[in-house]
C-alpha cells in the first residue's frame, strides 16, 4: 500500500562529522516507491527502536561500506543497506517504533485544477 508522507529530516553526521538535518527517510521512501511507512507498520514485533536510531545505524553501515569502497547493491554494499533498510533492521532484532512525530501531515486539496 502506497502512502503519501512528508518525512521529517533526521539528525545525521556530514562527511566532516558535523551534525546536519538530512532527508534520508524521504529518499528511502522514494527507493521503496512510497511504501516505507506501510513496511514499517507491518514489521514483526521485536525490540523497539526509534526511526532516528535506526537511521543512525543505517548511516554507520553505509559509512563503513563507503570506506571499504563497497558502493553496490549486493549485501554489504551501501546501496543494499538503503534498498533493504526494513529487512536489515529486522534482522538486527529491531522493529521501528513509529510515534507519528516522524512525519508531517500532507494535505491534498480537492480543488486542484
pLDDT at 108: 61
Place of cell 480537492: 110
CA-wise closest residue to 3 among 29, 31, 35? 35
CB 33 within 8 A of CB 2: yes
CA-wise closest residue to 62 among 75, 84, 79? 79
pLDDT at 2: 62
DSSP lists the bridge partners of residue 21 as 11
In the chain, alpha helices (H): 24-31, 36-41, 51-67, 78-83, 85-91
Mean of pLDDT values over 20-35: 82
Residue 73 or residue 85, greater confidence: 85
Amino acid at each position: 500500500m502506497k502512502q503519501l508522507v512528508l518525512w521529517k529530516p533526521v539528525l545525521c553526521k556530514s562527511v566532516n562529522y558535523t551534525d546536519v538535518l538530512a532527508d534520508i527517510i524521504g529518499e528511502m521512501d522514494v527507493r521503496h516507491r512510497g511504501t516505507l511507512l506501510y513496511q514499517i507498520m507491518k514489521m514483526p514485533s521485536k525490540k523497539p527502536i526509534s526511526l532516528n536510531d535506526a537511521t543512525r545505524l543505517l548511516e554507520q553501515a553505509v559509512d563503513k561500506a563507503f570506506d571499504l569502497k563497497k558502493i553496490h547493491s549486493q549485501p554489504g554494499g551501501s546501496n543494499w543497506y538503503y534498498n533493504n533498510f526494513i529487512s536489515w533492521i529486522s534482522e538486527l532484532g529491531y522493529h521501528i517504533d513509529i510515534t507519528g512525530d516522524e512525519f508531517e501531515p500532507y494535505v491534498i486539496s480537492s480543488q486542484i485544477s
